[in-house]
C-alpha cells in the first residue's frame, strides 16, 4: 500500500503541530472494560468515541492500515467511506449544546494510518484537532503534552519501533503508553477552560495493540 503522507508533507506538518501545554491523564485507558478484552488478532488499534465523560457506542476495531473517523453531516455516513462514522454511533440529537455544536464541526474528521515509520494522524476537517500521546513527550516525565494539529496537516502520533517507556505521574499513577487521545475542535490543559480531556465535547481514544 502506498504511503498516504509524503515525506515532504510530514516535515511541514510536524513543524506546524504545536504543543499547547501540559496535561495529566487519568490512570490507564478509559475505554477498556471487561467484555472487550478479547485477543487482538489482526487489529492494530481500537477506537473509542467519547462525548464529555460518556462513551458513545462500542469500541471500533481497525484492521486495515488506514481508517477515517468522521461526522455524518451532508450524508457522509452513507458515502461508502471506510471507517467510523460518529453520527452512526448514536442517531439521537445530542442533548448538550456544546456537544451538538462540536459534533457538527467534525465533518471529514481525521485519518489514522499505520505506516512503516509509525502511526500518522491527518486532520481532514476544517477545525484543529488536539492530540495527547506519550510518544509525543520526548522527556517522558512528570507530564504529557497536548499538540494542536491544524486543518490539512498531519502528525506522527506513535512509533512502534521506539515505544515510549511506562510513565507514572504524581498523584495520578501509571499512564497507558499505548493510549492516544484526540479532541475535535476543542483543546484542553491549564491554559484552557477545560483542564482534562473528559471535559471536551467530542473526543477519541485510540488504543494501540500491544507489542507482539
Q: What is the tens place of the pLDDT at every residue in 63-119?
A: 999 999 998 665 556 555 678 999 888 777 777 899 999 999 999 999 999 998 899
Phi, psi of 101 (to 5 degrees): -70, -40
Q: In angstroms, rounded to a whole number, what is the distance separating the alpha carbons of residues 65 and 44? A: 8
Question: 3-state DSSP call for residue 97?
Answer: helix
Q: How far apart, in whole angstroms, are the C-alpha atoms of residue 125 and residue 127?
A: 5
- Strand 83-85 and strand 66-70: pairing? parallel
CATH number of the domain bearing residue 124: 2.60.200.10
Q: Which residues contact 57 (CB under 8 A, 6 or more apart)?
A: 49, 89, 90
The answer to whether residue 110 sits within a structural domain is yes
- Residue 204 belongs to some domain of the structure: yes
Residue 42 lies in a domain: no
Distance CA(99)–CA(200), nearest Å, equals 8
Cα gap 117→129, rounded to integer Å = 22
Q: In 75-208, which residue ranges form alpha helices assigned H by DSSP?
A: 86-89, 97-106
Which residue from 109, 112, 145 is spatially nearest to 128, judged by alpha carbons?
109
In a domain, 31, yes or no: no
Q: Which domain does 157 fall in, by range?
A: 65-208
- Other C-beta atoms closer than 10 Å to the C-beta of 3 total 14
The reply to whether 19 falls in a domain is: no
Q: Is the pLDDT of residue 9 over 70?
A: no
Residue 210 CB neighbours (<10 A): 8
Q: What is the pLDDT of residues 175-189, one digit of tens each?
A: 677 889 999 999 998
Find where cell 462540536 sits. 102
Q: Is residue 113, in this structure, part of any structural domain at all?
A: yes
Number of domains making up the chain = 1
For 14, the enclosing helix (H) or strand (E) is helix 7-16
125-177 pLDDT per residue, tens = 999 999 988 777 655 444 567 899 999 999 999 887 776 666 665 555 566 77
Amino acid at each position: 500500500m502506498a504511503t498516504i503522507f509524503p515525506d515532504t508533507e510530514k516535515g511541514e506538518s510536524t513543524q506546524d503541530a504545536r504543543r499547547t501545554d501540559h496535561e495529566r491523564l487519568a490512570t490507564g485507558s478509559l475505554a477498556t472494560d471487561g467484555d472487550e478484552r478479547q485477543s487482538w488478532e489482526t487489529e492494530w488499534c481500537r477506537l473509542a468515541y467519547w462525548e464529555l465523560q460518556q462513551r458513545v457506542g462500542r469500541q471500533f476495531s481497525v484492521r486495515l492500515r488506514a481508517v477515517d473517523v468522521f461526522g455524518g453531516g451532508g450524508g457522509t455516513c452513507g458515502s461508502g467511506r471506510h471507517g467510523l462514522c460518529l453520527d452512526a454511533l448514536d442517531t439521537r440529537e445530542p442533548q448538550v449544546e456544546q456537544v451538538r455544536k462540536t459534533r457538527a464541526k467534525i465533518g471529514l474528521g481525521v485519518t489514522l494510518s499505520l505506516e512503516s515509520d509509525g502511526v500518522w494522524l491527518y486532520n481532514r476537517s476544517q477545525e484543529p484537532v488536539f492530540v495527547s500521546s506519550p510518544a509525543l513527550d520526548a522527556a517522558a516525565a512528570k507530564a504529557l503534552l497536548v499538540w494542536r494539529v491544524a486543518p490539512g496537516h498531519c502528525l506522527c502520533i506513535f512509533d512502534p519501533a521506539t515505544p515510549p517507556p511506562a510513565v507514572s505521574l504524581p498523584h495520578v499513577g501509571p499512564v497507558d503508553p499505548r493510549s492516544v487521545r484526540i479532541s475535535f475542535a476543542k483543546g484542553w490543559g491549564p491554559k484552557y477552560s477545560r483542564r482534562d480531556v473528559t471535559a471536551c465535547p467530542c473526543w477519541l481514544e485510540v488504543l494501540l495493540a500491544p507489542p507482539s
